[in-house]
Amino acid sequence: MTVTTQPLALRVDVPIACFRKSRAREYAETYPVPPPSTIYGMLLSLVGEMNRHKHCGVKLAISLLSKPQQSTVIRTFRRFKKKEIHDPTNARPDYQELLTNIQFVVCIDAGEDTAQPTLPERLRDALTNPSTVRRFGGLCLGESRDLINSVSIVRDKDKNNPLQWLEQNEDGLLTLPYWVDHIGSKGTRWRRYHLMQPSKEWQPSQQSWTTIQSA
Query: Is residue 44 assigned to a domain?
Result: yes
Averaged pLDDT, 14-41: 87
Q: Per-residue pLDDT for 3 more than 50?
A: no
- pLDDT number for residue 214: 85
Let me know: does 67 contact 28? Beta carbons within 8 Å: no
pLDDT of residue 181: 82
pLDDT in tens, 175-197: 999 998 866 667 789 999 999 99
Tell me what pLDDT residue 5 has.
46
pLDDT of residue 4: 44
154 closest CA partner among 40, 69, 61, 36: 61
Residue 194 belongs to a domain with what CATH number? Answer: 3.30.70
Higher pLDDT, 7 or 4: 7
Sign of the alpha-carbon torsion through 127, 41, 208, 71: positive
Does residue 25 lie within any of the structural domains?
no
For residue 56, the enclosing domain spans: 13-20+32-68+102-211
- Domain-embedded: residue 114: yes
Contact 59, 163 (CB under 8 A): no
* Closest among 108, 112, 136 to 46, alpha carbons compared: 136
In a domain? residue 206: yes
Whether the CB-CB separation of 109 and 58 falls below 8 Å is answered with yes
Residue 201 has pLDDT above 80, yes or no: yes
Region 128-144 average pLDDT: 92
pLDDT score at 88: 61
- Name every residue whose Cβ is closer than 8 Å to that of residue 207 and which is 6 or more positions away in sequence: 167, 168, 169
Per the structure, how many domains does the chain have? 1
Question: Rounded to whole angstroms, how far apart are CA atoms 85 and 80?
Answer: 7
On the question of pLDDT at 1 being above 60, the answer is no
Is residue 86, in this structure, part of any structural domain at all? no
pLDDT band at 156 (very low <50, low <70, confident <90, very high): confident
60 domain-assigned: yes
- Check residue 93 and give its pLDDT: 66
What tens digit of pLDDT does each residue of 63-120 get?
999 999 999 877 665 665 666 766 665 566 677 789 999 999 999 999 999 999 999 9
Backbone angles phi, psi at 46, to 5 degrees: -60, -40
Higher pLDDT, 131 or 87: 131
Evaluate whether residue 153 is within a structural domain: yes
User: Do the domain assignments include residue 130?
Assistant: yes
What whole-number distance in Å separates Cα of residue 185 and Cα of residue 188? 5
